[in-house]
Structure 1
Amino acid sequence: NPMFVGRIISQDGKTAAIYVPLEKGANGKEIADNIREFVRQQGGPENYYVAGDPVARDTFGAEMFKLMAIFAPMAGLVMFAVRYLMFRDLFLSVALMMDAMIAIVWSMGLLIGLGFPIHVMSSMAPVFLMAIATDSIHIFNEFYFRYKEERDKKAAIIKTMQAVGRPVRYTALATAAGFSVLLFMNIIPVKVFGGLVAFGTVILRVLSFTFVPAMFTFVTAESVEKASQGEEIGTSRTSLFLGRLAGLGAHRPWTVVLTGLVFFAAAAAGTTRIVVNNNMVEWFKKSSEVRTADRVMNKALGGTSLGYLVVSSKEGEDEFIKTPQALRHIEGLQRRLENLPYVGKTTSVVDYVKRINRVLHKDDQAYDRVPESKEMVGQYLFLFSMSAKPSDLDNVVDPFFKQANVWVQLKTWDAKAMRRVIEAAKEYQRENPLAMEIKPAGIAYFNLVWNDEVLWDMIKGFLMALVVIFVILAVNFRSPKWALVGYVPLLFTVILIYGAVGFMGKDFDMPISVLSCLSLGMAVDFSIHFINRFRQRLEEGRTAPDPESIEKALVWTAARPGKGILRNAILFAAAFSVMLFAPLTPYVTVGAFIV
């Protein structure tokens, strides 16, 4: 019986499906857990699998809450350990952690206080803020250098804030602006995420200028002396290495530039391979219950992802669906869709009419077709509604037979699969013109719309952020030329990341799109600090810069502020490294590319 095969039972008769409609607001994970517990108590040799969008969505939400509670503290502990290994000062390591935790508590408190729910994007905000808090390391780095020079704690604090105050302020402004552009997007979770991280970034910088210097005053001179050991440029192995690296760039600029251009060109080629797509089931690891169930059901049955095509008369004609022309048109549409690689099964009122016609003619296969008259179709459907539950027909046709609902079962949750279904339906309409409209609907279509709205919003926001950040760089450096210099590592970093995404064959999905904002903030942070301190060093010479003084300034910048940049990068990577161990792939993806 084609009404059952592929929907209720597999072709080989080894798999049967039970469909569980959920009421609005029901929690798919809780229901799935109850079903699993029930079948476990019943025993038996059968294997049971629970799949579907509500199960995947609510399971992801539950896991997301767990990860938010686990990974933010873990990121903090890792940062604390790395920070302590850098400076060997327990008190100031705690101060840096308090800086981050205050901003996170205030930000998440504001989120909850305003009544917003925790979404997959906002759940990542604590780890993002933990990483952004690492920018304070520049204050710590400079403080120890200044203390070695001044030998006075208060003077070292003042000199430190004078030296790094401007770059720290503008890095915060650029990072906050990069996330703030998301407030102009259309999707609420994207807006909330952007506003949340931007607010947290501002709080972090306010604390950097108030809380962090205040904490320095509580540290004993002996502790500072001990922690600042090895911070001299001439003795620190890290500073010496960075100085030699800068010297290489100064002596062989064309070699460095050409090497960079080769990598840039290769990465740019990789970006052309990127495909914009979203698949929530693939946010779980292959061994997870959700993904295993989805894989088994898609192999045995028509598919777990359900989309609809609503067919109606352009004139709104009553009983239009009963006409043989309309039914044959729908049947042809079904056959066209079933030829697509992602479509496992289609069902419509046509299948009911054909089955009734065949059964009433002694199961003669010759009658497995649409009847010749509208009246005959009407009689068949009336007879069926009297002998079965009326709700059976409600799933495929409206009470006035103005509209028909074609069920399309897809064997993948890829958004591009539903896009291909819609394109095929439009092609069929062009080739077989009839006064009929076809509109997509269903959870598969929702995922497609979500894919387009969220991901293209993120791309639009990313491009807006590029413009805003360039303006901020130009204002900070008071020169478009220096802004362009600061822009180069920013663009290089972003292109390199997305080039790797393209070559790896990963889809441009929501987790990858989140990287655009973060990579901008990370790259512009390093650029602002390096260029600001380099220009400061040149101005200290009080003479017109010559090649020798420029080289010395470059080496000094790489060896001294550059050490803070390196420490910042290490702390940044350390904060996100904990996400590599998450059971959900979005966290792993973001963690891997940031590290």
Structure 2
Amino acid sequence: MADSLIQFAIHRRKLVYWTLLLLTLVLVAQLPRIRIDTDPENMLPQDNAARQFHNQTKQTFSMHDTIVVGVVNPEGIYQSHSLQALFEVTEFAAGLDGVVQADLMSLANVDNIIQEGPGTLRFEWMMKSPPGDREAAERIRVQAERLPLLFNTLVSEDGQAAALYVPIVDKNQSYAIAQQLREFIRGLDNQDDWHITGLPVAEDRFGYEMFVQMGISAPLAGLTIFILLWVFFRNIPFITAPMIVAMATVLITMGLLIGMGFTVHIMSSMIAIFLMPIAVVDSVHILSEFADRYESGKDPKQVIRQVMGHLFTPMLFTSITSTIGFLSLMLTPIPPVQVFGAFVGFGIMLAFLLTVIFVPAYLAGLSDNTLNRLTQGLPDESQSRLTPALIALGRLAGSHAKLWVMGFVALFAVSLYGISLIQINDNPVRWFKADHELRIADRVLNQHFAGTYDAYLVLQTEGQAIQPAINAISTLAAEPALSDDLRLWLNQLSQQLSKGQDLSAALLDIEDKLFSASSTEEELLSTLLSQLEAIGSEAKRFLDPAVLSYMSQLQIYLQETGLVGKSNSLADIVKTVNRELHSGQDKDFVLPDSSNGVAQTLLQYQSSHRPQDLWHFVTPDYRQSLIWLQLTSGDNQDMTAVMDKVRTYLDLHPLPEGLTLNWAGKAYLNVIWQQQMVEGMLDSLMSAFVIVMLMMMLLFRSILFGVLAMLPLTLTITLIYGLIGWLGKDYDMPIAVLSALTLGLSVDFAIHFIERFRATLSQHKDWQTTLALMFEEPARAISRNAIVIAMGFTPLLFAPLVPYITVGVFLASIMAISALVTLVMLPAVMTLLRRWLFKSLNLNEEKP
């Protein structure tokens, strides 16, 4: 098959060229259809229970993704000019398309609650117009600090900052809306320090900068690889072939992804960067051996056949193993990671196919003049820095084998301990560099306020209130004293309730029926009415002072942990209104004694200018309520710590009977997808490891050689992740995905080294000669590949986005470590085990 493929490529060059060109053009035409997606929520499948509950909570409580605008004045925010600017920004934000005006929150559009008289409240705008003097500004400060829902949320505890919460209809508009706000703020005659932050802004901003980065890093990676290949071979026509393969691979793969309707997520945005260096790996092996074998006057077609005869099988297996490494990512429960793994895996096999077809066709078509320049223009390997270094490395690797192996075992043990130190953590805001305006805004506003990160504790009443009502109606319908008409009517009422009719509507129907009932039936219906009213009242669990008290105690506990900046709940609303209904003093900042008292406070609250705010904390049937947690950190570690504290509290103080508790909010969802990603990555890595090991045994037709090929891979993976643990680098999404690349590329070098070593040893039958020869062309090819791939990722080091920098640093490290481990570990282990590995050969060797 391999020979037929090579023959076809050499003798059908024009067909190969035109087919590749047309395929590339067709899929490049799909690129303008690109759709960017940076929403971490999409890291979870749409049917994920946590994601569904989060979205259900947003809908139930009319919650929206929010942009946080903060203004800071170190001399105090309660200055006329500062509050004037805040007022103007609020008015501007309210008029923007995509903003939920009714839920916009700042001092300029929230209520102040005032006691107008005993048992009477007055709701007036906190800042109907900007204060004209310092006294009016001071009055606003006193009023705002009395209201728990506003204090440390809309105004900072230190009095130096104020915030504007801008809820938006669509989180994908957050970057555009934030840009309009920035532009307006720049036009203000105001010297205060303004900041804009919030997870929706960070995610959407990342999408914008990610798109820019895609257009910069991939071409730079291509240019870097081109320069390196020129340094190695000094012949531009000669090195054009791998560049064509790399560019075609990237364009076809990205065109296919976009053409199939997939969005470009943070993961898939890196596909081009990953494929560009990987796609030239096989080409470098071909070019290296072709350059070594070709001499003036030789038939290039014959040289190509010889080169491909040596390299086809190891290149096929290295491509398959790399593909398996990435396809294993499809075992994770994270859709964007699945798409990334699938298309990088496809791209690797596409690059292999293009390499074994296009590169031979291209080399066979080079002119004699170009090929002669190749032999004349190649640098003298003996004069290069790489060749002497590799020869010295070969001498070291072949000697003191036991000492090397002991060193590798010790390094492996130290790396395993480093892995135990790894901390799983991520935060979309930290995807930007520390000096990025979003990171600065995040630091500043979370220093002043209770927190710009949200999480929700959702409490729900178990079961349905309707069933007890149906049971009561059915019991009455069985009474023999009822008329047939009334019995029929009650059965119809029961059916209506079972179909979803509201209980309050049924109560009104019964009251109407009382007027036409007989005295006996009236008495029975009155009893039923009382029963249903009791059932309805009991179902409204969040009017119960005991339930609200439990929520309040949980809030106090969370505040004392230091992990939660502040929490708001229905209990805070009730306490605030209750205080103003009585003395207006702190001694009355308590919950009423009865459900009727709670209901009375909420009825009063609904007379405010913003009655809809109540339904952000409780449902109209009072069967669900939430506690809004404000966190100063969006790190998964901190959110996990809060979840652990809540779990501890619930163990010590069980929920009131009949209530359940669940989590929602972006900070919580980030924890969920991180956990699933880590578990999925571990499963995929182990599965791929086993499959690759079986492939190695199949390739070398030996269990011992199969295990041997896995040693560099195993040590490289443990070294890289041990280093992550020792350095204290968080295990985040990019780091997790690197395991797939480590698995694929680390075994690539081992395959080439072992295959070439066995062939060379079979030819020379001399151990020391074989070792020496292995550290010439084969070691150069491996080293060149490692350098090309490592340098191909260096443009990522200059990106403004931390995930790209992380990938660049660690991929360069992976290449350096995997190549070094392969060139040192394999000769050392093979030297110790040579009598078992090569017992069929009659070796002529000197004892090392």
Mean alpha-carbon deviation: is it higher for 8-17 or for 240-249? 240-249
1:583 maps to what in 2?
Answer: 800
Distance 1:228 1:415 in 2: 57
CA separation of 1:279 and 1:23: change in aligned 2, threshold 3 A = same
371-380 or 227-236, larger mean C-alpha shift: 227-236
Q: How does 1:359-398 map to 2 (within 5 A)?
A: 359-398=580-619
- The SS at the match of 1:48 is strand
User: For residue 195 of structure 1, what is the amino acid of its counterpart?
Assistant: A
1:384-440, Cα deviation, whole Å (9 max, x unpaired) = 113342211011111111111100111111112222222222221221122221100
Amino acid of the structure 2 residue aligned with 1:270: G
Answer yes or no: is 1:518 the counterpart of 2:664: no
- Contact 1:511–1:590 under 8 Å retained in 2: yes
After superposition, what is the alpha-carbon deviation per residue over 1:176-229, rounded to whole angstroms, capped at 9, x for unaligned?
A: 111111223222101110111011001100011110111112223343344345
- Structural mapping, 1:69-80, within 5 Å: 69-80=215-226
- Residue 271 of structure 1 and its aligned partner are, at CA, apart by 0.9
Work out the CA distance in 2 between the residues paired with 1:203 and 1:209.
10
Report which stretch shifted further, 226-235 or 197-206.
Answer: 226-235
Counterpart selection for 1:271 from 419, 426, 435 = 419
Q: Match for residue 167 of structure 1? A: 314
Gaps of 5+ in 2: 1-145, 466-538, 813-848
Partner of 1:213: 360
Deviates more, 1:24-33 or 1:369-378: 24-33
Which residue of the other structure, out of 414, 437, 443, is the alignment partner of 2:635?
Answer: 414
Query: Mapping of 1:89-128 within 5 angstroms?
Result: 89-128=235-274
Shift of 1:316: 5.0
Q: CA deviation at 1:453?
A: 2.1
SS class of match (1:346): strand
Amino acid paired to 1:277: N
The question of whether the paired residues in 1 share the 8 Å contact of 2:412 and 2:718 is answered with yes
Structure 2 CA distance, aligned partners of 1:163 and 1:239?
Answer: 22
- The superposition leaves residues 128-166 of structure 1 with CA deviations (integer Å, 9 ceiling, x where unpaired) of 101211312001111111214994322211110011111
Q: Which moved more, 1:561-570 or 1:514-523?
A: 514-523
Secondary structure, aligned partner of 2:194:
coil
Q: Is 1:57 aligned to 2:203, yes or no?
A: yes
Distance 1:341 1:134 in 2: 52
CA contact (8 A) 1:247 1:551 kept: no
Residues 7 and 17 in structure 1, CA contact (< 8 A), matched pair in contact too? yes
Q: Deviations 1:304-328 (Å, cap 9, x if unpaired)? A: 1100000123345621011111001
Cross-structure match for 2:13: none
**2:178 maps to amino acid:** A
SS of the residue 1:363 aligns to:
coil
How far is the alpha carbon of 1:25 from its aligned partner? 5.0
Structure 1 residue 461 corresponds to structure 2 residue 608:
no
Superposed displacement of residue 482, structure 1 = 0.7
Kept in 1, the 8 Å contact 2:156–2:448? The answer is yes
The amino acid across from 2:319 in the alignment is A
CA distance in 1, matches of 2:660, 2:572: 20
> Based on CA coordinates, which of the two structures has the bigger radius of gyration?
2
- Give the aligned residue type for 1:504: L
Q: Which runs of 5+ in 1 are unaligned?
A: none
Give the aligned partner of residue 498 of structure 1: 721
Superposition map of 1:36-51 within 5 A: 36-51=182-197
| 1:169 positional shift | 0.8
Q: Secondary structure at the match of 2:443?
A: helix
User: In structure 1, which of residues 310, 323, 328 is the aligned counterpart of residue 544 of structure 2?
Assistant: 323
Give the TM-score, by structure 1 length: 0.96
Q: Distance in 1 between matches of 2:178 and 2:360?
A: 52
User: Which amino acid in 2 is paired with 1:330?
Assistant: M
1:342 — aligned with what? 563
Is 1:184 paired with 2:331? yes
Distance in 2 between residues matched to 1:427 and 1:281, nearest whole Å: 29
- Bigger mean CA deviation after superposition, 404-413 or 425-434: 425-434
In 1, the alpha carbon distance for the partners of 2:419 and 2:296 equals: 48
Instruction: For CA contacts below 8 A with separation 6 or more, give which structure has more relative contact order.
Output: 1
Match of 1:238 in 2: 386
Query: What residue in structure 2 maps to residue 593 of structure 1?
Result: 810
Q: 1:571 matched to which residue of 2?
A: 788
Match of residue 169 from structure 2: 23
Match of 1:474 in 2: 697
C-alpha distance in structure 1 between counterparts of 2:328 and 2:296, whole Å? 42
Q: Which residue of 2 aligns with 1:137?
A: 284
**Counterparts in 2 of 1:518 and 1:149: CA distance versus 1, 3 Å:** farther
**Which of 378, 397, 409 matches 1:261?**
409
Shift in Å at residue 364 of structure 1? 1.9
Distance 1:304 1:74 in 2: 37
5 Å-filtered alignment, 1:532-551, equals: 532-541=755-764, 549-551=766-768
Does the CA-based 8 Å contact 1:233-1:559 persist in structure 2? no
Q: Does 1:6 align with 2:152?
A: yes
- TM-score of the aligned structures, taking structure 2 as reference length: 0.68
In 1, Cα distance between the equivalents of 2:730 and 2:198? 22
Matched, 1:298 2:446: yes
CA shift digits 1:536-588 (9 cap, x unpaired) = 112224xxx5xxx1232222122121110000001001110110000001111
The answer to whether residue 670 in structure 2 is matched with residue 447 in structure 1 is yes
Q: 1:468 to 1:150 in 2, by over 3 A?
A: farther
Deviation of residue 532 (structure 1)? 0.8
- Give the alignment of 1:279-294 within 5 angstroms: 279-294=427-442
Given that 1:145 and 1:231 are in contact with CA atoms closer than 8 Å, whether structure 2 keeps it comes out as no
Amino acid at match of 1:560: E
Cα distance in 2 for partners of 1:148, 1:527 equals 29
Partner AA of 2:164 in structure 1? I
> What is the alpha-carbon distance in structure 1 between the residues aligned to residue 445 and residue 171 of structure 2?
25
Question: Deviations for 1:273-301, whole angstroms, at most 9, x for unmatched residues?
Answer: 10111111111001111111111111001
Cα distance in 2 for residues equivalent to 1:495 and 1:321: 53
8 Å Cα contact 2:569/2:617 also seen in 1: yes
Deviates most, 442-451 or 164-173: 442-451
Shift, 1:26, TM fit: 4.0
SS in 2 for 1:440: strand
Say if 2:319 and 2:349, in contact at 8 Å, map to a contact too.
Answer: yes
Partner Cα separation in structure 1 for residue 798 and residue 171 of structure 2: 31
Following superposition, the deviation at residue 236 of structure 1 comes to 6.2
1:231 Cα deviation after fit? 7.4
Tell me the number of residue pairs that the alignment of Structure 1 and Structure 2 aligns: 589
Whole-Å separation in 2 of the counterparts to 1:125 and 1:10? 44
Query: Which of 282, 307, 323 is residue 455 of structure 2 equivalent to?
Result: 307
Shift of 1:382: 1.1
Q: Are the counterparts in 2 of residues 87 and 228 from structure 1 also a CA contact under 8 Å?
A: no
- Aligned position for 2:113: none
Distance 2:808 2:242 in 1: 21
Task: Please tell me the residue identity of whatever aligns with 2:433.
Answer: K
Q: Which residue of 1 aligns with 2:622?
A: 401
CA contact (8 A) 2:460 2:625 kept: yes
Distance 1:353 1:302, change over 3 A: same
What's 2:344 paired with?
A: 197
Identity of aligned residues (%): 37
Local SS of the residue matching 1:200: helix
Q: 2:770 aligns with which of 553, 567, 572?
A: 553
